Structure 1
Amino acid sequence: MKKYIYIGIPCVLVIIVTVIYLLKKEETVRFETAKIVKGDIQKYVVATGTINPVRTVIIGSQVSGLISKLYADFNSEVKTGQIVAQIDPTPFEHQVRKAEAALATALAKLKRSNAVLRNSKRKYHRAKKLFSTQVISIDEFDESRTVYETSLADAELAKAEIMQAEASLAIAKTDLGYTVIVSPLDGIVISREVDVGQTVASSFQTPTLFTIAKDLVSMQVNTNVDEADIGMVEVGQSARFNVDAFPEDVFDGKVTEIRMSPVIFQNVVTYDTIVSIDNSSLKLKPGMTANTSILVAEAKNVLSIPNTALRFTPSKTIRDKTGKPEGGEYDGEKYSPLWILKHGKPVMVMIKTGISDYDFTEIVGGEVKEGDEVVVAEITDKSAAKSSQQIPWTRMGGGRR
């Protein structure tokens, strides 16, 4: 019995000591770091836009009628004054002849009125002489004078009717001229909305027949810049973009206009920003969606750190051991905390940051230098074990599970 006691007591003591040691053993902590380096940082404002020609003209019809001929189609190159469509002129030719007949009637009426006027004038002067010698009564004289004045009025009325007939004839000829649709500029037809035999009606609004772009070499991107970013965008800034049709190509442009009129869609306010581009290769086509990045700030050969370093916060145990931050004055509005590794331990310093892109941030102030190691992640035994137990991503049915 004593033998078991002598053997058991030391074993229990060893187990207790081992458990106490394991409980008090500090967890091993490692730090993932990155070095402060010098480089270039470019800040972009990202927006989505649509590629459009610089100048687009919609050709319509000022008269209603049947499309009898088409002289242009999609992608046709046209010149100024070139006929692109013809509306059936027959009804309008009839209107012209009707107006010409009305004018001829008015001219004939004027001749008749002039003849009546001359006759009434002679009778009036004859009656005037006879009345002066008291051969005729005053009633007969007044009657002849009235007939003469009426003839004068009829002659003036005939002249007015001639003017009215001439105006009607001019309107009829103008409408006849409008049956010939011509291009107002040199360009390319990018849209045709009508076919031969189709009737167009211009009663309430001008119907669209063609859309002509002046030039497809000089084009523009109409981008929608968010109201939170528009303050950083200025005319003259460089821009670059790509399109889904050519994902490997990057196209360059320049901001030429920022339109003041806001575009409000679902309570989101954006501003139309024009980016001029050179499309000499003719790869870009109207209507393409452009993923645009506008360069709003740039810093060359400056100290920079990964953005993950600014987001890093160590565990409370590490924070309690570091004490006060090192280097520079602390200013909560201008300075940011940064953890650097010194002699294997993280130390917090305060730095002043400048412009930032998606990956790096410029350092403009603080007690740091090129080559310093900044902490971006804290790795413990527990976190390492937890990450090793995670099930890796596997593809099932074409997607991730």
Structure 2
Amino acid sequence: MRRSLLVALPTAAVLAGCAALAAFRPKPAPAWRFVPIERGEVVRKVTATGTVNALISVSVGTQVSGSVTDLKADFNSVVRKGQVIARIDPTVNETQVADARAALRKAQASCDLAREERDRYRRMAAQQLVSKADLQAKETAFETASGDLEAARSALQRARINLAYCTITAPVDGVVVSRVVDVGQTVAASFSTPSLFVIAKDLSRMKVSASIDESDIGQIRPGQQATFTVDSYQGMTFRGVVSEVQLNPTVSNNVVTYTVVMEVDNVPRPAGSAPVAKVAGTSRYREPGAAIYQGELALFPGMTANVAILTTERKGVLRVPNAALRYNPGTTGAKPEGGARVWVLENGAPRPVPVVLGAAGQQYTEISGEGIREGLQVLAGSDQAQAAAPAQQKATLGGPPGPPR
């Protein structure tokens, strides 16, 4: 027992001396990280995913029902306004025109007969040979026959219009981007107008429709510049302009988005390294020698676009990295009290410098204020907290294990 005490006393003394030496040893100075206040640009962009489409697309349908007997256009056909692109079987409509023409002749004969009867009764009434009631009945009969004649004329005109609807013509100049019917297919226009073709009016002008989250829609304005990329062309950037911010919201899974439309000029397709061989067309309905769109422009309808809309751009202003505005030497990462500020090192200790914030970007923020100048080094962090973390963990675990007993 006495021997154990004699061994323990020197060991305790050594440990106490080490603890006192560690307590009075000066703490190492923190390794500060500095960033300069510099002059440059502050940029902020809103990113989203959108779809490329033609600026104006016209769906061509039919107002009459029947079987498709002829198609004069197919995918990629270049069509002109008024050009015949399809025909519907006109047999039923031709019969309706014949019936309406016969009904018109019958109504015309009835009207002529009623007119003669009216005129005869007028002459007899002048000689007081018939009563006023008889004359009034003939007047009414003539008016009724006249109305029937007008109705028959209208029916004939309607039948002729329906017969004309059997010939489908292109409403605009453009390129056929979709065909949804084949020869022999029956279309029914009883409840809605069935679509036969979709014609893009002008592929040289395209639009990109993107869904913007409600948290960012307040920054979007018509006229802002936008850029986007598509997966088909790596490293190629397209430029556009915001033309419309639609007010109609879309709610999906409690997320509210708004559609933003950007207009863009379609640029020529980049030339490939391999030569393009000319092959015969595979169209079944395009007439020989008809103009075909060969895809000379880069953007195709339906492409997915990765959009970036420029909402803030300030050039030649004093800026500081956002990390410097978030840093606080007291509690790292906490927001300082008393407004925005940056920290400078003065006599080895951090000192706050109030700043006035300007435009905010993704990486930099515009600042101004008294004492703010280009080249001033401000604190953006330190390695003290990082060094303290392993030490704190070490103290919590109780230090290194002692020698085995």
1:280 is matched with 267
8 Å Cα contact 1:241-1:252 kept in structure 2: yes
Return the offset for 1:185: 0.7
Deviations 1:109-152 (A, max 9, x none): 45655677788889x59x96xx9xxxxxxxxx559x98887666
2:344 is matched with 340
Most deviating of 281-290 and 378-387: 378-387
Return the offset for 1:356: 2.0
Return the offset for 1:200: 1.5
1:208 is matched with 195
1:304 aligns with 2:319: yes
Q: 1:147 to 1:35 in 2, by over 3 A?
A: closer
Give the aligned length: 358
1:64 is matched with 65
2:281 is matched with none
Distance 2:139 2:389 in 1: 117
2:178 is matched with 191
1:289 is matched with 304
Deviations 1:314-370 (A, max 9, x none): 3569x9xxxxxxxxxx993xx413223345543332222221221112222242333
Q: 1:152 to 1:308 in 2, by over 3 A?
A: closer
Q: 1:120 to 1:351 in 2, by over 3 A?
A: closer
2:22 is matched with 22
State how 1:27-66 maps to structure 2 within 5 Å.
Answer: 27-28=27-28, 29-66=30-67
More helix by share: 1
Return the offset for 1:218: 1.2
8 Å Cα contact 1:27-1:381 kept in structure 2: no
Distance 1:271 1:34 in 2: 38
Q: For 2:156, which of 169, 185, 193 is the aligned residue?
A: 169
More strand by share: 1
Return the offset for 1:199: 1.7
Q: Which has the larger radius of gyration?
A: 1
Distance 2:10 2:133 in 1: 154
Return the offset for 1:38: 1.9
Which structure 1 residue ranges, 5 or more long, are not aligned? 132-140, 320-329, 390-401
Return the offset for 1:302: 2.1
8 Å Cα contact 1:352-1:366 kept in structure 2: no
Q: SS of the residue aligned with 1:248?
A: coil
State how 1:71-86 maps to structure 2 within 5 Å.
Answer: 71-86=72-87
1:363 is matched with 367
Most deviating of 197-206 and 345-354: 345-354
8 Å Cα contact 1:64-1:202 kept in structure 2: yes
* Corresponding letter in the other structure for 2:148: E
* Corresponding letter in the other structure for 1:90: T
1:377 is matched with 381
Q: 1:113 to 1:248 in 2, by over 3 A?
A: same
* Corresponding letter in the other structure for 1:19: A
8 Å Cα contact 2:43-2:362 kept in structure 1: no
Return the offset for 1:15: 4.2
1:241 is matched with 228
* Corresponding letter in the other structure for 2:207: Q
Q: For 1:314, which of 329, 335, 349 is the aligned residue?
A: 329
Return the offset for 1:168: 1.4
Give the TM-score normalised by the residue count of structure 1.
0.75
Return the offset for 1:291: 2.7
* Corresponding letter in the other structure for 2:307: T
Which structure 2 residue ranges, 5 or more long, are not aligned? 269-296, 394-405
Distance 2:147 2:11 in 1: 134
1:95 is matched with 96
Q: SS of the residue aligned with 1:232?
A: coil
* Corresponding letter in the other structure for 1:276: E
Q: SS of the residue aligned with 2:16?
A: helix
* Corresponding letter in the other structure for 1:362: E
Distance 1:110 1:354 in 2: 85
1:354 is matched with 358
Return the offset for 1:259: 3.5
Distance 1:269 1:314 in 2: 39
Distance 2:135 2:340 in 1: 105
Return the offset for 1:223: 3.1
Distance 2:47 2:81 in 1: 39
Give the TM-score normalised by the residue count of structure 2.
0.75
Return the offset for 1:73: 1.6
Most deviating of 36-45 and 100-109: 100-109
